[in-house]
C-alpha cells in the first residue's frame, strides 16, 4: 500500500514525499482509512511507529475542505502530556501541511507568556496543539471558541492519565461539540484507558500495532556494573568517547544531578547540556534546538524532560541512574533507534539494583546483557538475580545466533515487516522475532568494543537465570 492508495489530499501527499516517506507505517495504514471514513479510534502505538502522521494526515485532509461554521476557533485540537511532545506535533503539522493554503497551526503550552498566547488565540486557528493545564486557563477565560471543532486527538493518553491530567482532558472535551471525531493514542489500551475512552469516544475502532517488545527490537541493551561514582564516571567517559556515538541522552535520577553531570561533562570538553523540568520553556526549547541542529553531543536529562524527543542522530541512551519505573526504561531507551534506525542503550547498575533490573527485564521481556570493559572491570562480583526472567534474549544475544543483516543502513525501514509482528490484539509472537523490521548492520558489535589501541576490548556475559 502506498500513500496514494490512502486517498489523501494531493497537497498532503506532496509534503509526505518531501519528507522522504515512501510507504505508510502499519499504524498509518490502519488508522488513516478509519479516520477518513469518520470513525473514532483508540490506538495503541508507541512513539517511533509513525503515530503522529497517523492522526495528523487525516486531520489535515479534513482541513482541505472549508468549515461550514463561521468561526475563528480551532477545527482540530491535539492534547499532549508534555510541552516537548506538543512542539513536536506542531512541527509535524506544519511539515505535512505546508502545501495546504492558509493552514494555521499554533501551540498553547504551560510555561509560555500569556500575552503572546492571547494574541495567537485572537486570530483564526486551524490546528491547536496544547498541554491540558494551560488550555483550561484559556477556556475558563473565554478565549477559545470551539464551535467549529471537528477533531479531538488525545496523544499519549496513558501518560496524561499517569500525570493526573485526565480530569482536565475531560473538562476540555466537554467544552467541545459532541459531534466531534475523537482519537485516543496510548502506549497500552488497558482498563483505565478503556474507561476514559468509554466516556469520550463513540463506538471507537480499536487499533493495535507492534507491541512494546517489538518496538525495542532495534535497540541493543547493555549493562555495566559499577562500584561507585568514580567508576561510573570513568565508564561514562569510555562510552562517550566511542566514535560510533553521534549524539547521546544521559538520564539521571534528579534535576540537580542532571545539572551537575552536564556541568562536569562540559568542563571535560564535551558539548553537553542539561534538560529538566525546572528549566523554563525558553531554556528547554533552546537546548532542544541545539541538540537537533547537532550543536550538542550529550544531553543530560531527567525522565519528564525527555518525552517526545525524536532526533534521528541519537545513537546512544545512557541510564546513568536506572529509572524508578520499568515503563520509564522503555520510554528512555526509545529516544534512540528512531524511525527504524539502530540504537544502543547502556545502563549502569550497582550490586543493589538486581531486583530492579529483573523488574525491567520482566517488563520488556528482554534480557539486558552485562558488559565488561577491560581496565574498567567492576571490583565487586555482581550479585546475580536468581530468577524472574522468562522473556526473550536481547538484540545482542539474538545477533549471536543469526546472520540477520539489513540492506539499507538501518534507517527508515520499519514498514511492512512490522505488520506481521503480532496479531491484531498486539500479542507479539513471544519474542518479536518474526517480521522484525529494524536494521542492525551499522552498529558496533557488542562483543567487540574497541579500546583506544583498536584491540578487541569488550566482553559480554549473560546473567544467569
Grid cell locating 424 = 491484531
Shortest Cβ 452–ligand AMP spacing (Å): 34
Shortest Cβ 289–ligand AMP spacing (Å): 16
Among 35, 41, 44, 51, binds ligand AMP (CB under 6 A): 51
Q: Whose Cβ is closer to ligand AMP: residue 6's or residue 77's?
A: 6
Part of the chain binding ligand AMP (CB under 6 A), chosen from 50-58, 107-115, 171-179, 200-208: 50-58
**Rounded to an integer, what distance in angstroms lies between the CA atom of residue 143 and that of residue 348?**
48
Q: Which residues make Cβ contacts (< 8 Å) with residue 5, sequence separation at least 6?
A: none
**Rounded to an integer, what distance in angstroms lies between the CA atom of residue 300 and that of residue 306?**
9
- Alpha helix positions (H), 64-190: 83-96, 114-122, 132-140, 157-162, 166-174
Q: Whose Cβ is closer to ligand AMP: residue 126's or residue 310's?
A: 310
Part of the chain binding ligand AMP (CB under 6 A), chosen from 21-29, 108-116, 261-269, 386-394: 21-29
Residue 97 found at the interface with ligand AMP (CB under 6 A): no
Among 52, 211, 394, 397, binds ligand AMP (CB under 6 A): 52
Shortest Cβ 256–ligand AMP spacing (Å): 30
Q: Whose Cβ is closer to ligand AMP: residue 51's or residue 332's?
A: 51
Among 168, 259, 310, 321, binds ligand AMP (CB under 6 A): 310
Among 50, 97, 365, 385, binds ligand AMP (CB under 6 A): 50
**Rounded to an integer, what distance in angstroms lies between the CA atom of residue 434 and that of residue 431?**
8
Residue 49 found at the interface with ligand AMP (CB under 6 A): yes
Residue 25 found at the interface with ligand AMP (CB under 6 A): yes
Residue 24 found at the interface with ligand AMP (CB under 6 A): yes
Part of the chain binding ligand AMP (CB under 6 A), chosen from 19-27, 72-80, 244-252, 327-335: 19-27
Residue linked to cell 541510564: 319
The alpha carbon of residue 67 and the mean position of all alpha carbons in its chain are separated, in whole angstroms, by 33
Q: Show the site string, 396-435: x = touches ligand AMP by CB under 6 A, - = not.
A: ----------------x-----------------------
Q: Which of 229, 239, 226 is nearest to 458 (CA)?
A: 239
Residue 394 found at the interface with ligand AMP (CB under 6 A): no
Ramachandran angles phi, psi of 171, nearest 5°:
-60, -45
Q: Whose Cβ is closer to ligand AMP: residue 340's or residue 382's?
A: 340
DSSP conformation class of 366: B
Q: Which residues make Cβ contacts (< 8 Å) with residue 109, sequence separation at least 6?
A: 83, 86, 87, 130, 131, 134, 281
Part of the chain binding ligand AMP (CB under 6 A), chosen from 22-30, 121-129, 384-392, 451-459: 22-30
Among 9, 44, 47, 350, binds ligand AMP (CB under 6 A): 47
How big is the site for ligand AMP, counted in residues (CB under 6 A)? 15
Q: Which of 293, 300, 305 is nearest to 272 (CA)?
A: 300
Residue/partner pairs of 352-357 with CB below 8 Å, 24 or more apart: 353/322, 354/382, 354/383, 354/384, 354/385, 355/385, 356/322, 357/223, 357/322, 357/385
**Rounded to an integer, what distance in angstroms lies between the CA atom of residue 106 and that of residue 10?**
23
CB 305 within 8 A of CB 277: yes
Per CB under 6 A, contacts with ligand AMP among 336-365 are 338-339
Q: Whose Cβ is closer to ligand AMP: residue 339's or residue 346's?
A: 339
**Rounded to an integer, what distance in angstroms lies between the CA atom of residue 435 and that of residue 438?**
9
Part of the chain binding ligand AMP (CB under 6 A), chosen from 48-56, 191-199, 374-382, 429-437: 48-56
Write out the residues near ligand AMP by the rule CB under 6 A.
Answer: 21, 24-25, 28, 47-53, 310, 338-339, 412
Amino acid at each position: 500500500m502506498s500513500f496514494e492508495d490512502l486517498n489523501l489530499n494531493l497537497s498532503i501527499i506532496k509534503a509526505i514525499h518531501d519528507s522522504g516517506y515512501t510507504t505508510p507505517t502499519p499504524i498509518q495504514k490502519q488508522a488513516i482509512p478509519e479516520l477518513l471514513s469518520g470513525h473514532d479510534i483508540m490506538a495503541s502505538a508507541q512513539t517511533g511507529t509513525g503515530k503522529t502522521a497517523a492522526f495528523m494526515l487525516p486531520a489535515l485532509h479534513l482541513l482541505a475542505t472549508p468549515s461550514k461554521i463561521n468561526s475563528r476557533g480551532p477545527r482540530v485540537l491535539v492534547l499532549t502530556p508534555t510541552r516537548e511532545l506538543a512542539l513536536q506535533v506542531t512541527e509535524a503539522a506544519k511539515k505535512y501541511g505546508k502545501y495546504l493554503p492558509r493552514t494555521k497551526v499554533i501551540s498553547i503550552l504551560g510555561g509560555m507568556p500569556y500575552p503572546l498566547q492571547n494574541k495567537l488565540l485572537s486570530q483564526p486557528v486551524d490546528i491547536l496543539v496544547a498541554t491540558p493545564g494551560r488550555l483550561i486557563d484559556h477556556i475558563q477565560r473565554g478565549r477559545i471558541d470551539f464551535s467549529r471543532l471537528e477533531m479531538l486527538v488525545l496523544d499519549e493518553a496513558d501518560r496524561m492519565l499517569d500525570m493526573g491530567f485526565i480530569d482536565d482532558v475531560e473538562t476540555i472535551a466537554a467544552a467541545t461539540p459532541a459531534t466531534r471525531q475523537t482519537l485516543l493514542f496510548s502506549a497500552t489500551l488497558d482498563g483505565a484507558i478503556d474507561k476514559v475512552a468509554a466516556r469520550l469516544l463513540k463506538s471507537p475502532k480499536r487499533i493495535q500495532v507492534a507491541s512494546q517488545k517489538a518496538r525495542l527490537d532495534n535497540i541493543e541493551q547493555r549493562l555495566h556494573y559499577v562500584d561507585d561514582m568514580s567508576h561510573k564516571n570513568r565508564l561514562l567517559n569510555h562510552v562517550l568517547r566511542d566514535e560510533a556515538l553521534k549524539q547521546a541522552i544521559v538520564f539521571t535520577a534528579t534535576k540537580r544531578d542532571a545539572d551537575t553531570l552536564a556541568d562536569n561533562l562540559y568542563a571535560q570538553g564535551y558539548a553537553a547540556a542539561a534538560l529538566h523540568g525546572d528549566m523554563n520553556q525558553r531554556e528547554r526549547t533552546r537546548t532542544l534546538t541545539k541538540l537537533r541542529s547537532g550543536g550538542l553531543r550529550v544531553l543530560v536529562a531527567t525522565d519528564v524532560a525527555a518525552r517526545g524527543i525524536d532526533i534521528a542522530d541519537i545513537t546512544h541512551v545512557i541510564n546513568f541512574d536506572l529509572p524508578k519505573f520499568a515503563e520509564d526504561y522503555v520510554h528512555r531507551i526509545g529516544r534512540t533507534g528512531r524511525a527504524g534506525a539502530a540504537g544502543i542503550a547502556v545502563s549502569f547498575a550497582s550490586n543493589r539494583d538486581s531486583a530492579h533490573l529483573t523488574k525491567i527485564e520482566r517488563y520488556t521481556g528482554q534480557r539486558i546483557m552485562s558488559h565488561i570493559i577491560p581496565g574498567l572491570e567492576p571490583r565487586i562480583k555482581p550479585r546475580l538475580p536468581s530468577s524472574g526472567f522468562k522473556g526473550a534474549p536481547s538484540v545482542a544475544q539474538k545477533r549471536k545466533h543469526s546472520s540477520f543483516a539489513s540492506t539499507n543502513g538501518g534507517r527508515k525501514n520499519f514498514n511492512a515487516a512490522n505488520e506481521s509482528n503480532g496479531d491484531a490484539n498486539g500479542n507479539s509472537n513471544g519474542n518479536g522475532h518474526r517480521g522484525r523490521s529494524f536494521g542492525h548492520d551499522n552498529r558496533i558489535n557488542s562483543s567487540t568494543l574497541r579500546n583506544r589501541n583498536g584491540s578487541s576490548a569488550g566482553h559480554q556475559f549473560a546473567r544467569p537465570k
